[in-house]
Amino acid sequence: MTVRKYIGTSALVAALLMPTSGYAAKEVIVKDFTERTYGFTTVEEEMITASALFRFDSGMNFTYPDAIRGVYVTGHSAGGARFKELLKLMDSTELNAMVIDIKDDFGDLTYVPADDSPLKPLNIGNPYIKDPKAMLKVLEEKQVYPIARVVVFKDSNLANAKPELSFVGGSTVWKNGRGESFVNPFMKEVWDHNVAIAIEAAKMGFQEVQFDYVRFPEGFETRSDSLKYGKGDYATSKDDDVQLRVHAVTDFVAYAREKLKPYDVKVSVDIFGYAATLPEAPGIGQNFGKISENVDVISSMIYPSHWTSYFGIAKPDLEPYRLVQEYAKAENATLGKLESPPISRPWLQDFTASYLGAGNYKKYGAAEVEAQIRALSEAGIKEYLLWNAGNRYSPGVDYTP
């Protein structure tokens, strides 16, 4: 049975219970209470302080490292034999964080929710991680910073279960070339589904929720007219389709962050690297600056293999240092325009992209990983994450620049 511990103040509860129509009277009462009890002189001071106290306590204690240096971990790895191997990697190197799948690319949960969880009836749980709390306890003992990865709008499970929340072509739910379906970022029900999962991860003890696939499908602008889908609260907007997509994606991020505030977790978002080099990525709805204003951490996916002839580099996969160096310049320029920029923590490549074909890729190992880390460090970016889909990371890497 999940034990829930809440800390609150009577002042906050009293303020919330009073009718909004009596705001002036409410202000007097709350102000009187706060002055007598805490010595605060304004309602705003009390509400801010009360809000800070009214927090969920998972019982887990982690210290944020000097800088996050993390790896991606699937649910299978987190719940299987490879978890011990990854812990040894943490123990023997400067790595100090794991990004662990909680909701994966298909919409599956990587654990089975408790019987009293609102997620239990959805039947999307899988016993990959048999005891998430026990796993987190191990990470707590070793002070390995835990980040919960939640894949948001790529969700074949929800799309197939509720086509009205997806994009329909003809009589069936639309699929991309890999057979994957997306759900509709315009729909508030989709937002709440993912926020509920994020809250459950926070209650487990994860210190950060990382939202991935926070976007429309790639190339959506070329097929939007041929698909049937709702626009929810955005249906009456006078904005064009590009701005509507940007609004939906940005609004989801802001909404999720607000809902997660009582759980004391950081909010991060994965975003396409090229989004930082454009005013906005119009088809998928990602605006780097606007998303960055609503998160604690921004994680651009800047794998050299994912760029094609960019920054004047004909074959980016062959030049990991230069690619990351050029990207960092663009990102720093964009974040430098924000009043309160988030932490930059890019995703780096620790895999070999042989699918690019002979002459277009190189085998990635310690030297290539170190080159990317060095390029970030020289640009003043100290945090990073390493991606390898199989969770097999290159040996012999010096993770400090």
Residue pLDDT, tens place only, 103-135: 999 999 999 999 999 999 999 999 999 999 999
Q: Per-residue DSSP letters for 233-285?
A: GGTT--S-HHHHHHHHHHHHHHHHHHHHGGGT-EEEEEEEGGGGGSS-BTTTT
In this structure, are 92 and 181 located in the same domain?
A: yes
In this structure, are 67 and 32 located in the same domain?
A: no
Which pLDDT value is given to residue 282?
A: 78
Q: Measured in Å, how far apart are the chain's first and last C-alpha atoms? A: 45
Chain-centre distance for alpha carbon 115: 26
Chain-centre distance for alpha carbon 343: 13
46 and 40 in contact (C-beta within 8 Å)? yes
Q: What is the mean pLDDT of the chain?
A: 89
136: closest CA among 198, 59, 80, 197? 59
Structure tokens at 18: 């009073």
In this structure, are 216 and 354 located in the same domain?
A: yes
Inside any domain, residue 398: no
In this structure, are 13 and 139 located in the same domain?
A: no
Which pLDDT value is given to residue 53?
A: 54
What's the rounded Cα separation, in Å, for the pair 181 and 183?
A: 7
What's the rounded Cα separation, in Å, for the pair 226 and 245?
A: 16
> Which residue range(s) make up the domain with 28?
6-53
Buried b / exposed e across 273-284, counting CB within 10 Å, b at 16+? bbbbbeebbbbb
In this structure, are 86 and 222 located in the same domain?
A: yes
**Mean pLDDT across 242-256:** 97
pTM above 0.75, yes or no: yes
Res 399 pLDDT > 80: yes
In this structure, are 47 and 106 located in the same domain?
A: no
Inside any domain, residue 399: no
Q: Which residues contact 341 (CB under 8 A, 6 or more apart)?
A: 292, 335
pLDDT (tens digit, 9 = 90+) per residue, 154-210?
999 999 999 999 999 989 999 999 999 999 999 999 999 999 999 999 999 999 999
The number of distinct structural domains making up the chain is: 2
Which pLDDT value is given to residue 279?
A: 86
In this structure, are 81 and 64 located in the same domain?
A: yes
Between helix 320-335 and helix 366-378 the angle, nearest 10°, is 30
Where residue 401 falls among pLDDT bands split at 50, 70, 90?
Answer: confident
Res 25 pLDDT > 90: no
What's the rounded Cα separation, in Å, for the pair 7 and 278?
A: 44
In this structure, are 261 and 217 located in the same domain?
A: yes
Q: Averaging pLDDT over each range in 18-32, 35-49, 290-304, which range is the top one? A: 290-304
Inside any domain, residue 263: yes
**Mean pLDDT across 292-300:** 98
**Mean pLDDT across 372-387:** 98
In this structure, are 295 and 331 located in the same domain?
A: yes
Q: Which is more confidently placed, 34 or 221?
A: 221
In this structure, are 163 and 304 located in the same domain?
A: yes
SS3 call for 345: coil
Q: Measuring CA to CA, how many Å separate 379 from each of 52, 303, 309, 344?
A: 35, 17, 22, 11
Inside any domain, residue 20: yes
